[in-house]
Amino acid sequence: MLVRLAWLIVITTWSAAALAETTADRWNLAEVYPSLAAWNADAVKLEAQLTEFAACKGHLGDSAARFRQCLDLQADLTKRYYRLGLFSGEQLAEDTGSGPSLELDQRADILGNKLKEAGAFVDPEVLHLGKERVAQFLSEDRGLAIYRFPLDRILRRAPHTLSDEGEALVARFGLMNDAGSSAYSILTNADIPWPKLRVGSEDVTLDDSAYTKYRAGADRDERKRVMDAFFATYKTYERTLGVNLYSQLKQDAVYSKVRQYPDSITRVLDDNHVPVAVFDTLIAQTNANLPTLHRYFRLRAKLLGVPQLQYYDIYPPLVHGDYRFPLATGRQLVLDAVAPLGKDYVQTMRTGFDSRWMDTYPRPHKLSGAHMADYAYDVHPYVLMNYNDDYDSVTTIAHEWGHAMHSYLASHAQPFVTAHYPIFIAEIASTFNEELLLQRMLKEAKTDDERLFYLGTSLEQMRGTFFRQAMFAEFERAVHARADAGEPLSGEALTKTYCDILKRYHGVKEGVMAIDDLYCVEWSYVPHFYNAFYVYQYATSIAASSLFAQKVGRGEPGALERYLDLLRAGGSDYPYELVKTAGVDLATPAPYQALVARMNSIMDEIEAILAKRK
């Protein structure tokens, strides 16, 4: 399905507030479709429009007017499908075990594939028209101006576009594109029999959500038992999950060959005209700065009071404290934090909080984690949370509502065809808001312990969003390269590849950390790998957002407006160029070095507090 989901794994255990959930805590999907009958009616309309659209085949070049008519029809079809897909996808997210919701989502997928097949002729025909003819149409009909950038994207990809018959054939195979991801989601969210574990005084079903909570527990022995049991379960399914991921890698390799790209990474990045140099610079800079990551791990060991840091020691907070944030408090903290972005920004976010744009608390079979879905262009963004009254939940609100506000601003500034922005930009808005939240919390911290708590949380965010995602990206590059070369990859081979990278990043050779080989099956726990070369954008984004946040925070002239203009720009230009225009070049070492410098400065502050205590 085409609805973009911005994932962030969060805690989804039961709080008192969750048990007292009310309608106000559930999103209102009736604003998308008031009933299943309304969804069905729109689906029927889409089918009728597909028939009308078929008459455009072979006639895009008849005249500027006909060209515009057909492009307008395609845009309306796509907008309708996205709305249908958002509704079905979010209904399934509410209850991943619901048969009717799964069937509805599958129906949306089928409609999406029909749309792909119906539109397969467009790119080849535009290419046949050529730049001069397209430019002539643009000059003859001002209404075509909104399509200038989308048309440029088509014309730029001329060497990788097939004939009409070839594009139609590729579109037919599109029905299988999400097979690996769908199977993974159902297997891990609904079908795997998760182990039961006694943690403290609780009997816990150790699924993905519970693991996210209990891996951060205070008791070290319990953390080990949690991680052992959790990854032992994934190890049981290593072969199946290996076959599943390998099928996705092979599919990506086939599409790359069909599109005449040298490899999968070049094909995927070229979709948004992102230079491979961005990816290469990220990996090179991450590896060059592993000593900073290792410094953090040594500091963590010191604060936790353990002689040898283990992999199950990387998640508990550096400073313990009873910091609870009921939903009302968490929402207000985020509203206060984003105040530097202006009154309109704050008021729109407040409206979303008060108008049921968010599904807040965990429930049985609800999709784990958090995401923002923004493809109901004429409605508003929707946010899925699993709020648990802790600080991680507050940061997740800041993160996901960064996405939501990005989409809101883009949708109100751009026509549908250029409103949707790629992930390369998306994670800038989310991590920017997290940085603003940190600054707000540090400003209000009343004790050194509280300050250490927030500083430690920030370090963990940088580790998780920058170093960890770069590690994932390096793993992706390695396994995609092997699939591109036609090499076999079993679950065991995937585990070995991941294990080598995991241990290098965490300084096992240097004695920084010890990692049990069982935990090397962690690759199978990461859903992002079913979306090729997705995760690197978290790392590039936090590097960019840290610079933007610094500029806005210190009141640099024009910085706020340039940042908001970046959000309003949506997908109106290539994302690398938009970010570069706003002042950050992600193909250079500068943003990554700035983030690492920020991380070192936080560790300097933590060590100063510790020294003062001595």
Active site (catalytic) residues: 400
Q: Are 565 and 498 in contact (CB under 8 A)?
A: no
Q: What is the rounded distance in angstroms from the CA atom of residue 551 to the CA atom of residue 540? A: 17
How far is Cα 123 from Cα 112, in angstroms, rounded to an integer?
17
Task: Name the E strands within 343-430.
Answer: 358-359, 371-373, 382-384
How many residues are recorded in the chain?
614
Start-end of H helices in 237-362: 238-258, 264-270, 276-288, 290-304, 327-337, 343-354
Q: 434 with 462: CB under 8 angstroms? A: no
Distance, in Å, from the CA atom of 385 to the CA atom of 21, rounded to the nearest integer, reads: 13
CA separation for the pair 159, 545 (Å, rounded): 34
Q: Where are the beta strands (DSSP E) in 56-112?
A: none
Short-list 366, 360, 432, 363, CA closest to 403: 432
Angle between helix axes 327-337 and 391-413 (nearest 10 degrees) is 50
What are the angstrom distances between the C-alpha of 474 and each of 66, 275, 286, 383, 569?
A: 47, 16, 10, 30, 30
At 530, the amino acid letter reads Y
Residues 450/466, Cβ–Cβ less than 8 Å: no
Q: Per the structure block, which two tokens stand in for 584?
A: 């950050």
528 secondary structure, DSSP code: G
Nearest Cα to Cα of residue 476 among 539, 405, 528: 528
Question: In whole angstroms, what is the distance from residue 513 CA to residue 520 CA?
Answer: 14
Rg of the chain on CA atoms, in Å: 24
The helix (H) or strand (E) run that includes residue 127 is helix 122-140
Q: Are 31 and 380 in contact (CB under 8 A)?
A: yes
Contact 470, 283 (CB under 8 A): yes
In sequence order, what E strands does 160-199 have? Answer: 196-199
Closest CA to 457 of 541, 7, 449: 449
> The tokens 């005084």 sit on which residue?
201
Number of C-beta neighbours around residue 322 at 10 A: 4
Asked if residue 453 lies in contact with residue 318, where contact means CB atoms within 8 angstroms, the answer is: yes
CB-based contact 22:385 (threshold 8 Å): no
**DSSP one-letter code for 218:** S
